[in-house]
Structure 1
């Protein structure tokens, strides 16, 4: 399935429930933020080692996948409402980052 097909499926899901009036950019951003918070909560107090191992636990993996799906679906819905091509926007951002952060410069993750 493509991103466009997933977006169309999400749009049809929302339309079938007459959620359009509630899917304003502000509301979608707030919902997206809430879902990112729920994903964050799954990792909040884990050590780096525990966080890396979390996906190997079936229950933890299911919760992680659920929250990641919520984040994805709200982001896709927001992009649909705002008419943003996420693939084009993502590629443009990587293009800008390639200029900002050339390989081999020795920057650490903490400098970003």
Structure 2
């Protein structure tokens, strides 16, 4: 997704919410709770799928459609929260990736799931 596409989507979300007068409900606390609850719904779709079967399960038509819908909800909630807080989502992700590069250098992190204490 390009930055232009992300901006157009954000403008579409703003219009959608303005038409419904939902901005009054979109304070940071409520948007954070929305994000958490939508992420929980995404998690629930995969909760009892064995790890070894998760990729195959997610490729099946019906689960894939349900996963895509929940991912859409998570993305919308995250964009709305970023918009409300004035946080550039792409910049926040780029910045975090740079911090993670420094925190988890390849020579120490490759193939490991454990984290060393700082």
TM range, smaller chain = over 0.9
Report what 1:12 is aligned to: 15
Determine the C-alpha separation between the residues in 1 that align with 2:87 and 2:58: 31
Equivalent residue runs for 1:69-108 within 5 Å = 69-106=72-109, 108=112
Report what 1:27 is aligned to: 30
CA-CA distance at 1:98 after TM superposition: 0.8
CA-CA distance at 1:80 after TM superposition: 0.6
Determine the C-alpha separation between the residues in 2 that align with 1:93 and 1:111: 17
TM-score normalized by the length of structure 2: 0.89
Instruction: Choose which of 49, 52, 55 in structure 1 pairs with 2:55.
Output: 52
1:92 to 1:101, Cα distance in 2 relative to 1, 3 A: same
| 1:109 match: secondary structure | coil
1:106 to 1:19, Cα distance in 2 relative to 1, 3 A: closer
| 1:111 match: secondary structure | coil
CA-CA distance at 1:91 after TM superposition: 0.5
What's the RMSD between the two structures over aligned residues?
Answer: 1.4
Runs (5+) with no aligned partner, structure 1: none
Does residue 111 of structure 1 match 2:91?
no
Determine the C-alpha separation between the residues in 2 that align with 1:56 and 1:105: 32
Does residue 37 of structure 1 match 2:40?
yes
CA-CA distance at 1:111 after TM superposition: 2.4
Determine the C-alpha separation between the residues in 1 that align with 2:51 and 2:37: 23
